[in-house]
């Protein structure tokens, strides 16, 4: 590179006006180049031109290869937001910007003048990449990208959408500044809920066994069935549950009970009226006081339950009844006697 070109680049960086005359730089430019070659003018002039907020690194500024740079930061809207000046010995615009405190992101773009390879420093324009807020399920983060559509942004950041996932923009939607992209992660699973199946009970009568007696011939066992539900969750929260089918896994085992039907009979005979009483009471000789018995009038099928209050009956009488119990069996005071009465053991239901 010629000395004139070198001087021109330095003057452009330092915002110093220069001009040409007859194809040669005026005397002041040549004098500056001479001082530069002697290693005197550039460090002194650059230091005097940098503002008070320049980030100087003592080791880099004094070491060989350190050069002055101005980093102009341009927002995603295309507006200049700030400017940082400093000294750097790096050979990459990102590293230079990082070293002098411009805080670049890896997605940012740069333009440089003059070329870093000239070794004289220069101006770097840092173009901020547009940033977008992404809510992916329960995670929220910022992504920076120069892509044009939502789909390209997702692809670039390796954000894959499941078949049932929901997003608030279609993949073909053009990106806009400050866009918030929301992704609801939808999971569909089959939920299996086991449920008992009650067993049935079958009763078999045995006339040779006393009524009220039960014997289990075959024990019952509950069965099991599975109910299948399609459960949909968004970001881990269940939003629906739809029944799909039911499947019997274990059939129930029927219980078989033997039930006695034989009724114990105390005897048959004549019933008479004992006394006028509203209660269902009787006197008899075949059970102890306070025992309840069941009486049936075999002539008409009517029956009544009475409590025996004592004995001492005549031998030709089965029971003496209160008038109320006597009437329940179809008798009257004028009739006085009921001839065909059967006395049975009382069985509670």
- Asked whether residue 230 is domain-assigned, the answer is yes
Q: Smallest Cα–Cα separation from 318: which of 263, 272, 265?
A: 272
Q: Are residues 271 and 199 in the same domain?
A: no
Check residues 38 and 188 and name the one with the higher pLDDT: 188
pLDDT in tens, 289-313: 999 999 999 999 999 999 999 888 8
Give the CATH number, domain containing residue 333.
2.40.40.10
Q: Are residues 252 and 287 in the same domain?
A: no
Q: Using an 8 Å Cβ cutoff, are 240 and 190 in contact?
A: no
Q: Phi and psi at residue 85, in whole multiples of 5°?
A: -120, 150
Q: Are residues 290 and 338 in the same domain?
A: yes
**Helix, strand or coil for residue 294?**
strand
pLDDT in tens, 78-123: 999 999 999 999 999 999 999 999 999 999 999 999 999 999 999 9
Check residues 3 and 163 and name the one with the higher pLDDT: 163
Q: Are residues 147 and 161 in the same domain?
A: yes
Q: Smallest Cα–Cα separation from 256: which of 218, 286, 284?
A: 218
Q: What is the domain count for the chain?
A: 3
> Domain range holding 309?
264-345
**Helix, strand or coil for residue 326?**
helix
User: What is the per-residue burial (b if ≥16 Cβ within 10 Å, else e) of 22-36?
Assistant: eeebeeebeebbeeb
Q: How confident is the model at residue 20 (pLDDT cuts 50, 70, 90)?
A: very low
- The backbone region for 301, taken as left when phi is positive above 0, alpha when psi lies in -120 to 50, beta otherwise, is left
Domain end among 227, 243, 260: 260
Domain end among 242, 260, 278: 260
Q: Are residues 292 and 314 in the same domain?
A: yes
Q: Are residues 249 and 224 in the same domain?
A: yes
Q: At what angle do helices 27-37 and 3-13 cross, to 10 degrees?
A: 90
pLDDT score of 19 more than 50: no
Domain end among 244, 260, 276: 260
- Asked whether residue 93 is domain-assigned, the answer is no
Q: Using an 8 Å Cβ cutoff, are 71 and 14 in contact?
A: no
Give the CATH number, domain containing residue 198.
2.20.230.10
Q: Are residues 243 and 273 in the same domain?
A: no
Check residues 49 and 295 and name the one with the higher pLDDT: 295
Q: Are residues 269 and 329 in the same domain?
A: yes
């Amino acid at each position: 590179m010629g000395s004139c070109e070198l001087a021109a680049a330095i003057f452009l960086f330092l915002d110093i006006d220069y001009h040409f005359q007859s194809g040669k730089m005026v005397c002041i430019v040549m004098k500056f180049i001479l001082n530069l070659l002697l290693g005197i003018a550039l460090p002194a002039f650059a230091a005097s031109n940098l503002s008070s907020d320049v980030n100087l690194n003592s080791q880099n500024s004094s070491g060989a290869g350190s050069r002055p740079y101005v980093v102009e930061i341009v927002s995603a809207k295309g507006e200049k937001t700030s400017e940082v000046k400093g000294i750097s010995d790096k050979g990459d615009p990102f590293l230079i910007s990082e070293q002098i405190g411009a805080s670049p992101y890896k997605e940012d773009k740069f333009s440089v003048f003059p070329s870093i390879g000239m070794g004289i420093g220069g101006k770097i324009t840092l173009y901020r990449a547009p940033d977008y807020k992404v809510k992916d399920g329960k995670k929220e983060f910022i992504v920076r990208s120069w892509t044009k559509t939502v789909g390209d942004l997702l692809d670039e950041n390796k954000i894959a959408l499941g078949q049932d996932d929901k997003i608030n923009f279609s993949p073909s939607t053009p990106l806009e500044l400050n866009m918030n992209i929301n992704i609801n992660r939808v999971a569909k699973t089959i939920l299996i809920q086991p449920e008992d199946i009650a067993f049935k009970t079958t009763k078999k009568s045995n006339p040779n066994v006393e009524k009220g007696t039960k014997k289990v011939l075959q024990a019952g066992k509950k069965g099991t069935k599975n109910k299948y539900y399609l459960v949909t969750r968004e970001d881990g929260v269940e939003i629906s549950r739809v029944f799909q089918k039911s499947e019997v896994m274990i059939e129930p085992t029927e219980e078989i009970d033997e039930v006695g039907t034989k009724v114990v009979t105390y005897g048959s005979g004549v019933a008479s009226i004992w006394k006028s009483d509203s209660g269902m009471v009787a006197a008899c000789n075949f059970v102890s006081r306070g025992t309840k018995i069941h009486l049936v009038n075999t002539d008409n099928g009517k029956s009544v339950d009475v409590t025996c209050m004592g004995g001492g009956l005549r031998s030709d009488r089965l029971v003496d009844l209160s008038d109320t119990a006597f009437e329940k069996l179809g008798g009257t005071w004028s009739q006085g006697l009921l001839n065909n009465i059967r006395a049975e053991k009382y069985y509670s239901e």
